Chain A
Amino acid sequence: MFKKLSGTPYMLWSIIFIIVPLFLVVFYAVSTKDGDLTFGNFKRFADPIFISVTVRSIYIALLATVVCLVLGYPLAYGITSVSPKYEKLLVILLVLPMWMNFLLRTYAWQSLLGRNGMISSLLKLVGLGRVELLFNEGTVLLGMVYNFLPFMVLPIYTVLKKIDTKIIEAAEDLGANKITVFMKIVLPLSVPGIISGITMTFMPAVSTFVIPALLGGGKYTLIGNLIEQQFLLVGNWNFGSALSVILMLIVLISAAILYRYDKQEERVNI
């Protein structure tokens, strides 16, 4: 009885705050302002401008995910291989920036990268001359990598941490060198961590609107900005909802692809 009851508040919560709003979004997406059913909102999306914004969002989110993986994997691996005393410290250092407000951290980059900011001044001192660091694609990418890197490192770190060292020792006993151990044992076993790392980085990256607004100077529009604009500025909730549904589909499809890949990996391991 108690077991049954204990789930009820959660169920109610998800129905009221997740399921119902989701249906509302879908309903808005397929209706006009007056409530008539239509596919016009989706047809409007077929405009080359909106398609190119979507492609751009997926492209930069993928790029940010790849950079996070390339930077994050060695970092996670490095953390597991130092002595336990420093290991804890390193994990805390990694998470520490997340204690600060996300907006504030992103806004801080604006003054760091500004024309008279610290980094520009340093570059000038070294004699590299004036470099435009702020308000371009690279800045947006930097903002994404900076903000989402911990989401890549933490799951990989957790998985690496759990690998049974006996397996590695066994491989070494059988004559495998460090590279072979890494390629044949560590890497395959850490795939679940990589997969959840990719999911946790890609999803916020593809939907963010704050980072392009602040670091892209409003010149670099992503699908998140389009949605924000439709809801807050234009007041066209129907088109905004259609865009949200499309964004949800993108996230769902990418999750499905990763899930399948995850399944295959498991089979190979067995």
Chain B
Amino acid sequence: MRRFFILVMTILITFTFIGCGNKKLTLNVYNWGDYIDEDIIEGFEKEYDIKVNYETYATNEDMYVKLKNGGTQYDIIFPSEYMIEKMVKDNILESIDKAKLKNYSNIGSDYLGGAYDTQNEYSIPYFWGTVGILYNKKLVSDPVDSWNILWNEKYKGQILMLDSQRDSLMVALKKLGYSMNSRDPKELEDAKQALLQQKPLVMAYVVDNGKDIMVSGEAAFMVTWSGDAVALMKENKDLEYAIPKEGSNLWFDAMAIPKGTKYPNEAHLFIDYMLRAEVAKANAEYVGYSTPNKAAFELLDAETKNSEVAYPNINELGKMEVFQDPGSFIEDYNRVWTEIKAK
């Protein structure tokens, strides 16, 4: 038994040392699925001789849970605004030294200083966009200008809702004329009733698996993000995107550095690299979302620049709201969403 133990330990120790021998600095980058042009990462690896370990998540909540409970130390993450707010409150983000970012000035001023991080002390804008209704012109005869159309009996079984709690509750809260950041239990209860009432009309709750259904023309409506809408409209010419008049969600995703990183300098290098005009342009073309990078925007082709879906005038989007961290009230959001899904 002892000899066996010694053997195992020897093997383990040997492997540990072999691991050290060819060590190259590795940055752990944790991003949304399909949300970067992976060629760009390769370019970064070559230029700086740094290895990038790239992993993905599906929602902000996934990322937060993994960061808090998982064992991996990530060096770069891409949270959305309300998640940044929460993470700053939790004190788990490293502050960013803008002096190290030569390309910081490429970012348009409209996209800096959001309420979630007024001084951009912890986050550097990555992409932005809206949430709206993607619909199929051939299947919809009524004008699409209000969330109410998603409650219209006529379209029973043709409506795709998002399987994402804040987004779906946003739709219901906005339809009822409330704020999407409501902390009023009564308003939330109303939203829950509205979504329960809508449930028989809903074809499915989807995230990425709804894209195929829309492209093949099997559903009339899908609540979705503007960047996905742009990509899907290219695949099926009958699709259109509308932002309801009651207002909708305006969102920002940003790059941030979690506390505890061993390589703050390299993480800054990575962010600065992502802010380069050509890199940000290539990335925007691949991902399809709207870039806050002014210099990159100038390099885009005219069709994209003039697209009202991808680049609406951010100052004309009157009733848009940005998500805020609801603090401990998130428990109520969790409960309500669980109840809607379980019913």
User: Residues on A close to B: CB < 8 A?
Assistant: 5, 8, 49-50, 52-53, 107, 110-111, 114-116, 132, 134-135, 214, 217-219, 221, 225-226, 229, 231-237
Report B-chain residues with C-beta under 8 Å of the C-beta of A110.
Answer: 209, 212-213
B163 contacts A by Cβ under 8 Å:
yes
Contacts A134-B203, A219-B204 given; 12 further ones with Cβ under 8 A?
Answer: A5-B4, A49-B338, A110-B209, A111-B212, A135-B203, A217-B205, A218-B205, A218-B206, A229-B341, A232-B65, A234-B338, A235-B69
Which A residues are CB-close (under 8 A) to B64? Answer: 235
- Residue of A50, A132, A232, A236 near B342 (CB, 8 A) is A50
Counting CB contacts under 8 A, is B59 at the interface?
A: yes
Judged by a CB distance under 8 angstroms, whether B298 is at the interface is no
Q: Please provide the chain B residues from 38 to 73 with a CB less than 8 Å away from any CB of chain A in the complex.
A: 59, 61-62, 64-65, 68-69
Q: From A216, which residue of chain B is reached at the shortest CB distance?
A: B204
B281: chain A residues within 8 A (beta carbon): none
Q: List 12 A-B contacts (CB under 8 A).
A: A50-B342, A111-B212, A114-B213, A114-B218, A116-B218, A218-B163, A218-B205, A219-B199, A225-B341, A233-B59, A233-B334, A234-B338
Q: How far is the CA of A49 from the CA of B341 in the complex (A)?
A: 10
**A234-B203 contact given A114-B216, A114-B218, A225-B341, CB 8 Å threshold:** no
User: Total contacts A to B, CB within 8 angstroms?
Assistant: 73
Interface of chain B residues 290 through 343 with chain A (CB within 8 A): 334, 338-339, 341-343
Contacts of B62 in A (CB 8 A): 232-233
Residue contact B209 to A132, C-beta cutoff 8 Å: no
Q: Which of B1, B68, B206, B209 contacts A235 (CB under 8 A)?
A: B68
A221 in contact with B1 (CB, 8 Å): no
A110 to B213, CA, bound (A): 9
| A5 lies within 8 A of B1 (CB) | yes
Q: What residues on B are CB-neighbors of A49 within 8 Å? A: 338-339, 342-343
**Contacts known (A114-B213, A225-B341); A135 close to B204, Cβ less than 8 A:** yes
Q: Of B202, B213, B334, which contacts A219 at CB under 8 A?
A: B202
A111: chain B residues at CB < 8 Å are 212, 216
A260 CB, min distance to chain B CBs, angstroms: 33
- Inside 8 A of A5's CB, which chain B residues have their CB? 1, 4
B61–A53 CB distance below 8 A: no
Q: State A114–B4 Cα separation when bound (angstroms).
A: 57
Minimal beta-carbon separation of B285 from chain A (angstroms): 28
Instruction: Among B69, B206, B339, point to the contact of A217 (Cβ < 8 A).
Output: B206
Instruction: Report the 4 A-B pairs with minimum CB-CB distance, sorted nearest first.
Output: A217-B204, A218-B205, A235-B65, A115-B218
Q: How far, in angstroms, from A206 to B341 measured CA to CA in the complex?
A: 18
Give the residue among B59, B69, B338 with the most A Cβ atoms within 10 A: B338
Knowing A8-B4, A132-B157, A221-B342, say if A237 contacts B69 (CB, 8 Å): yes
Min Cβ gap A107→B in Å is: 8
Expressed in whole angstroms, the Cα–Cα distance for A8 and B203 within the complex equals 53
CB-CB under 8 A from A225, the residues of chain B are 341
Select one of A107, A235, A237 contacting B61, CB under 8 A. A235
Q: Residue of A at shortest CB range from B213? A: A114
Report how far A233 CA is from B68 CA in the complex, Å: 13
Query: In the complex, are the beta carbons of A234 and B61 less than 8 A apart?
Result: yes
* CB pair B203 A236 closer than 8 Å: no
Partner of A221, one of B59, B165, B202, B341: B341
Interface centre among B4, B59, B204, B213 (most CB of A within 10 A): B204
Bound: A154/B323 CA distance, A:
52
Residues of A within 8 A of B216 (CB): 111, 114, 116
Contact, CB under 8 Å: B68 / A229: no
In the bound complex, do residue A232 and residue B61 qualify as a contact, i.e. CB atoms below 8 Å apart? Answer: yes
**Chain B nearest CB: distance from A36 CB in Å?**
17
Which residues of A are found within 8 Å of B199, using beta-carbon distances? 219
**For residue A50, which residue of chain B has the nearest CB?**
B342
Q: Which residues of A contact B157 (CB under 8 A)?
A: 132
* B342 near A226: Cβ-Cβ < 8 Å: yes
Instruction: Name A223's closest neighbour in chain B (CB-CB).
Output: B342
CA A235 – CA B69 in complex, angstroms?
Answer: 9
Residue from A107, A134, A135 with most neighbouring chain B CB atoms (10 Å): A135
CB-based nearest A residue for B160? A217
Q: How far is the CB of B179 from chain A (nearest CB, A)?
A: 22
Q: Which of A50, A116, A234 contacts B334 (CB 8 A)?
A: A234
- List residues of chain A with CB within 8 A of the CB of B218: 114-116
Are B212 and A53 neighbours in the complex by a CB distance under 8 Å? Answer: no
- B4 to chain A: which residues have CB within 8 Å? 5, 8
Q: Which of B206, B217, B341, B343 has a CB less than 8 Å from the CB of A116?
A: B217
B318 to chain A, nearest CB (A): 31
Q: A235 vs B65: C-alpha distance in the bound complex, in angstroms?
A: 6
Query: What residues of chain A lie closer than 8 Å to B334, measured between beta carbons?
Result: 233-234, 236
For the complex, give the distance between the alpha carbons of A218 and B338 in Å. 12
Q: How far is the CB of A241 from chain B (nearest CB, A)?
A: 12
* Chain A residues, CB < 8 A from B212: 110-111
Hey, which chain A residues are within 8 Å of B204, CB to CB? 134-135, 217-219
Q: Which residues on the B side are within 8 Å of A218 (C-beta)?
A: 163, 204-206, 341
Q: Which residues of B contact A52 (CB under 8 A)?
A: 342
Distance of A101 Cα from B243 Cα, bound (Å): 39
Q: How far is the CB of B98 from chain A (nearest CB, A)?
A: 31
